[in-house]
Structure 1
Amino acid sequence: MKPTRFLWLLLFFLTACFTRPAVEPQVQETEKEIPTLILVSFDGCRYDYPDLANTPALDAMAAHGVRAEGLKTAFPSKTFPNHLTVVTGLYPGHHGIIANTIYDAENDRWYRLSNGAVSDASWYQGEPVWVTAEKQGITTATFFWPGSEAAIGGVRPTYWKPYDHHFPFAQRVEQVLAWLDLPKGERPQFITLYFHEPDESGHHHGPASPEAIAALEEVDAQLAALQQGLEERGLRDQVNLIVLSDHGMTSTSRDSVIFLDDYINMEDVMVVDWSPILALRPKEGKASAVYQALKGAHPHMHIYRKGELPEAYHYNDYPLVQPIIGVADLHWSITTRAYFDSHPNKPSPGAHGYDPVYSDMNAIFYAQGPDFKEGYAAPVIENINLYELMCHLLRIEPAENDGSLEAVQDLLR
């Protein structure tokens, strides 16, 4: 080879080596791991309870994360309807759990919290976030979340437990931490955790009673144990933690009672649900007379025919809404004189279920983690938007829902 030609080839080779782009790696860089999401419910914790209690765990979340002024519930402000709204992003009139007690006249069957219907998927019309996640390859676990006992859409969480009211609170936290200790391929990335307090104490002793506040402090201590467990595992910065409630609580008394039997013959109706949202199924041929007798009968009870309820309730279209619905004003209860006289301790000192327009029905909302702002005081937000938020946190595509991520975007970094 001639020297000149050799020099030109050498120059070409060196130029190519220094100017061509770097070789792409055979395997693309792994995306940043999705933070685990833990959703915790303190049942019946009104928005202002933490200001009346010693709650260091919630206070820490507010300081290092987000606290909303309140969480607005969906109508009716009951336990199962709102827990399902949180995880589906649907109003109760769209996800099907329109009350804690439902009657299906066509099939002559009942949905009650005390019977096996809670595990019957045919009652549930929405898609909970754990179903959305499982369908997109994310492992999930639920510890006592309403609806999680049913195979909704044929899908259950990978890990779930049938409800046991007496299961010790501390052991619930221990199980969540045990799930987080599983090997990576088995470890859930979405976990729910449910506590029935301070709801139970609020019902029995009244809202903001010493007993209700003590119950909140008890579950706050369990939250602290969860936070410590995350810290010990080096997971505090790898977990998005949301703590909320399903509804608030208000006071009721024997001085604010509406007696249904003062206005109608109780033999003319089936009472599907009582107070504060009355659901009546009149006997054949009695619907018009019952409606006319109750309409305007009491200044603190508002009577509607199905299809005529306020649009804000999103309650008119669902087939299992009963023909006549009564809505009591805040603090008021609906019953009969016979029940009232035979139950001197009723109504309970605390109640919920009322129109969400009342601030007493507002719940708590706290959030902390890598995706949330730090030390952010948010205005009142609506629980209808939390499904979209959780799908965003899990990096999954949401199912059709009534919520909006944009409405809660300000919570995020």
Structure 2
Amino acid sequence: MAARATNADQDRRKPVTILVSIDGFRADYLDRGLTSPLSALARGGVTGPMRPSFPTKTYASHYAIVTGLHPDRHGIVGNRFEDPAHPGLMFTMAAHKDSFWWDQAEPIWVAAEKAGIPSAPLFWPGSDVKIQGTWASTWQHYDMDVSGRQRVDAAIDLLRRPAATRPRFLTLYFDEVDTQGHRYGPDSPELTAALMQVDGAMAHLRAELAALEQPANLVIVADHGMIATDPSRVIMIDQIADPADYHVVDEGPSAMIAPTPGREATLAAKLLAPHPHYRCMRKEDLPAHLRFGHNPRVAAFVCLAEPGWLLLGKVPAKGVDLGSHGYDNREPGMLALFIANGPAFAADKRIPTFDSVDIYPLLRDLIGLPPRPDIDGSDAPFNGVRRP
């Protein structure tokens, strides 16, 4: 148990804002009756389904949440992509730390630091990169072997700092729900265990904040949902077109395919023909609701699979996932968790489905930054559920 704060320190403790991502926590997981601490936070605050940006993949979705921009504008257009301005390089989840990948947008911690607000985005995608010339005051390299409880303890330790250096904005990130959803599917016992594990971490966070007598506005989100998949619903891209005509940039429920120079027409004839269970389009012809396809980093062709189907360049060595995400963001299975709880929020409120880019302006409100008009999101969905 954390040591109690002194009276003098308590007097200086104003509410902090903590943004929590539970990767892959589908909105309706909250209704399974397995997550008592999270459900208590929802009852004591505001909840509702959140629609992720497209593509509904981890890096693109997380950066939309903290920039208020859809991926086509913030530049992180998937978990794997190329940039024509940097030929020969590929952004991946393992190779992403050059600043130029991220500099098309300003995440909330950079805005906070520029305004003199100390921030500590712990493990959030992009937080371990210098963006637009600015680092967060505190950040950590991602390490999936750090337990949920240890991640909470790291944040609490930062809140024990003196008021002058104590972060006013923090993030936490939990990966286990997504990991088990991929490996075993969204209806598996392993997924159930992961839900209970992260629920325990949230209970620990609440207990430690209470022991420290630190008021906090918690904004708890997920980057996307999860839909069941299996090896019988896989389409191999090399069965659609000749591999000499293309290379696969990204794959899964949505795939980005780049033509070999001089072979675009041949590739287009194969990809754009009608196919069962998926549809391929030139990027400029994507449906308007996806808000995707204009950034130069988006490959020339984008293919979308039906829910439950996968488009793969090759079968992974570990086998085909039993759950996945990356589908059209209007699919119910892609809807993500949202809970807001703290002194800034009313209790027992449910709001209609809103877009993940709306979280960013809410965060600006909470940490005292002025509204930013040049973003895709709006804080309007939270009108009527905020306390004065």
With normalisation by structure 1, the TM-score equals 0.87
Report the 3-state secondary structure (helix = DSSP H, G, I; strand = E; otherwise coil) of the residue aligned with 1:193. Answer: strand
Aligned match of 1:334: 311
> Who is 1:405 aligned against?
379
1:267 equivalent among 241, 244, 266: 244
Q: Verify: 1:163 aligned to 2:136, yes or no.
A: no
Structure 1 residue 53: deviation in Å?
4.2
Higher mean displacement: 34-43 or 387-396: 34-43
Name the stretch that deviates more: 191-200 or 289-298: 289-298
Distance in 2 between residues matched to 1:381 and 1:224, nearest whole Å? 26
Once the two structures are overlaid, the 10-residue window that deviates more, 52-61 or 201-210, is 52-61
Gaps of 5+ in 1: 1-31
Task: Give yes or no for contact 1:37–1:241 (8 Å, CA) kept in 2.
Answer: yes
The 2-side partners of 1:313 and 1:191 are apart by 30
In structure 2, what is the equivalent of residue 95 of structure 1?
A: 74
Partner of 1:231: 210
Pairing partner for 1:322 from 281, 295, 299 = 299
Match of 1:23 in 2: none
Corresponding residue for residue 62 of structure 1? 42
Deviations 1:157-215 (A, max 9, x none): 10000111111221111111111111000100000000102000000000121111110
In the alignment of these two chains, the number of paired residues is: 373
- Which of 60, 63, 67 matches 1:81? 60
Q: Paired residue for 1:372?
A: 345
Mapping for residues 36-51 of structure 1, pairs under 5 Å: 36-51=16-31
Between 1:52-61 and 1:214-223, the stretch displaced more is 52-61
Does the 8 A contact of 1:300 with 1:328 survive in 2?
yes
Tell me how far apart the structure 2 counterparts of residues 405 and 170 of structure 1 sit (CA, whole Å): 31
Distance in 2, matches of 1:394 and 1:103, equals 34
Q: Could you tell me how far apart the structure 1 residues matched to 2:248 and 2:207 are?
A: 48
* Two-structure CA RMSD over aligned residues (Å): 1.6
Q: Is the 8 A contact 1:263 1:297 kept in 2?
A: no
Q: Check if 1:146 corresponds to 2:125.
A: yes
* 1:365 aligned partner, one-letter code: F
Give the Cα–Cα distance (whole angstroms) in 2 for the partners of residues 390 and 59 of structure 1.
22
How far does residue 33 in structure 1 lie from its aligned partner after superposition?
7.6
Aligned match of 2:100 in 106, 122, 129? Answer: 122
Residue 105 of structure 1: how far off its partner (Å)? 3.6
Q: Contact (CA 8 Å) 2:245, 2:266: kept in 1 or not? A: no
* Cα offset, 1:310, TM superposition: 1.3
What is the CA–CA distance in structure 2 between the aligned matches of 1:303 and 1:410, rounded to whole Å?
42
CA drift at 1:112: 0.6
1:15-30 counterparts in 2 under 5 A?
Answer: none
Aligned mates of 1:160, 1:335 — CA distance in 2: 34
* Counterpart residue type for residue 110 of structure 1: M
**CA distance in structure 2 between the aligned counterparts of 1:79 and 1:411, rounded to whole angstroms:** 28
One-letter amino acid of the structure 1 residue matched with residue 312 of structure 2: T
Q: Give distance in 2, aligned partners of 1:279 and 1:96.
A: 15
Unaligned runs of 5+ in 2: 1-11
Secondary structure of the 1:347 match is coil
In structure 2, C-alpha distance between the alignment counterparts of 1:55 and 1:106, rounded to whole Å? 46
Which whole-Å deviations, capped at 9, do the CAs of 1:54-82 have from their partners, x for residues lacking one?
212112111211121x1111001101111
C-alpha distance in 1, partners of 2:34/2:228? 22
For 2:344 and 2:51, how far apart are their aligned partners in 1?
22
Q: Deviations over 1:261-288 (max 9, x none)?
A: 2231111111111112111111122111
Identity %: 36
Amino acid aligned to 1:191: L
CA distance in 1 between counterparts of 2:210 and 2:158 reads 15
Shift of 1:260: 2.1
* SS of structure 2 residue aligned to 1:40: strand
Measure how far apart 1:398 and its partner are.
4.3
Which is worse superposed, 74-83 or 273-282? 273-282
Is 1:186 the counterpart of 2:165 in the alignment? yes
The answer on whether the counterparts of 2:22 and 2:221 sit within 8 Å (CA) in structure 1 is: yes
Q: Which residue identity does 2:200 align to in structure 1?
A: A
Q: Does 1:52 align with 2:32?
A: yes
2:13 and 2:163 in contact (8 A); partners too: no
Task: Answer with 1 or 2: which has the greater Rg.
Answer: 1
1:381–1:408 contact (8 Å) kept in structure 2? no
Q: Report how far residue 34 of structure 1 moved.
A: 5.4
Q: Give the conservation status (yes or no) of the 8 Å contact 1:74–1:313.
A: yes
**Secondary structure of the residue that 1:278 maps to in structure 2?**
strand
| 1:396 paired to 2:366 | no
What's 2:289 paired with?
Answer: 312
Q: Within 2, Cα distance between the matches of 1:36 and 1:190?
A: 6
Equivalent residue runs for 1:326-365 within 5 Å:
326-335=303-312, 339-340=314-315, 346-365=319-338
1:37 to 1:49, Cα distance in 2 relative to 1, 3 A: same
The answer to whether 1:35 aligns with 2:15 is yes
Counterpart residue identity of residue 112, structure 1: T
Counterpart amino acid of residue 143 in structure 1: L
Partner of 1:249: 226
